[in-house]
Chains A and B, each alone.
Chain A
Amino acid sequence: MKQEWPLWEVFIRGQHGLSHRHVGSLHATDATHAIQNARDVYTRRKEGVSIWVVPAADITASSPDDKGSLYDPADDKVYRHPTFFDIPDDVGAM
């Protein structure tokens, strides 16, 4: 039997209207326990109004080795930024 509790990634929503943000990780035996631990470890100073926990093992991550092929091609494609258009004032904040 594995001695360590499984690892969970914790996401907290700071206030209504904002999205959940990754704040860190912790160990817990199951999802309920992970929520309780997240409450105790990450919301002691009123940091949040909502908690998500995700088993770290279920997260698929991109490989650092693929950095070149994944991200470098975007380097010289400045036209993808919408900075070449005049935005009418009436539109307001974009």
Chain B
Amino acid sequence: MSVPGLIRMGDNTLVLGQRVSEWCGHAPALEEDIALANTALDLIGQTQLWLGLAAEREGKGRTADTLAYHRDAWDFRNLLLVEQPNQDFGVTMMRQFLFDSWHLEALTTLAEHDDTEISAIAQKSVKEVTYHRERSSDTVIALGEGTEESHARMQAALDRLWPYVGEMFSTDGDDLTDMAALRPAFDTYLETVLTEATLVRPHSDFAHMGGKTGARHTEHLGHMLATMQVLPRSYPDATW
């Protein structure tokens, strides 16, 4: 039964895609604005595939849109990391870097999945996410070793988001693959980038949990969904 695992993948890309899209028109440079919008659109595109397959396999007549727009916060199964607010550009890019680093490992593994529909989605997504990780890594490095202020902001962003890293590698039978097994490769890559960025990996391994199991989301998710879902909920028959 792959539906819960597909929903987890799709909810991650949906929630992060929506978060990143909030930058549209507000990014610190026009080029970064377009790059963030491209990333958001890639993630929403991946969401259509993951949630589309989940809805189809569930067989209850729902679609990717129903799952995205007509579920409440407690039904979402995304990681707590991706629902965290954008804050400043440094926090946004650090969140992106941490997620991309996990995401690429997860997709690379899922690209070899025995289930051909799952592997097909992963193979398509892996090309986009390879670029996402390259871009977010370069930004973390550039700002980390940049000015005194940019360095301080990136270290603060890492310290703030670090408690949300552990959940990415918690795993149970609903996951499409063993997420815990991805940790060594993630750690190796993280170390390389943080060293170049002159940033210090926090010592604590404390991890907030509850996003991917739906046990407890942070208060930020509901606010975000209210904005994201208001139109299809107010006008259920609306079409493009």
Contacts and interface: CB of A to CB of B under 8 A. Distances in A.
Interface in A30-46: 32-33, 36-37, 39-41, 44
Nearest to B146: A29
A29 B32 CA distance: 12
A5 interface: yes
Contacts of A28: 31
Contacts of A37: 31, 35
A32 B131 CA distance: 13
A27 interface: yes
A36 B29 contact: no
A5 B29 contact: yes
B225 interface: no
B20 to A, nearest CB: 13
B38 A36 contact: no
B187 interface: no
Most chain-B CB neighbours within 10 Å: which of A5, A40, A41? A40
B142 interface: yes
A36 B34 contact: no
Given A27-B31, A41-B31, A36 B142 contact: no
B31 A26 contact: yes
B138 A40 contact: no
A9 to B, nearest CB: 14
A23 to B, nearest CB: 14
Contacts of A41: 30-31, 34-35
A39 to B, nearest CB: 8
B183 interface: no
B165 to A, nearest CB: 25
Contacts of B113: none
B134 interface: yes
A40 B34 contact: yes
B146 to A, nearest CB: 9
Interface string B95-125: 0000000000000000000000000000000
B135 interface: yes
B23 to A, nearest CB: 13
Contact of B38 (A26, A29, A40): A40
Contacts of B38: 40, 44
Contacts of A39: 131
A27 B35 contact: no
Given A28-B31, A41-B34, A44-B38, A33 B134 contact: no
CB-CB nearest 4 A-B residue pairs: A37-B31, A40-B35, A40-B34, A40-B38
5 contacts: A36-B134, A36-B135, A40-B38, A41-B35, A44-B38
Given A40-B34, A40-B35, 5 more contacts: A27-B30, A32-B138, A37-B35, A41-B31, A41-B34
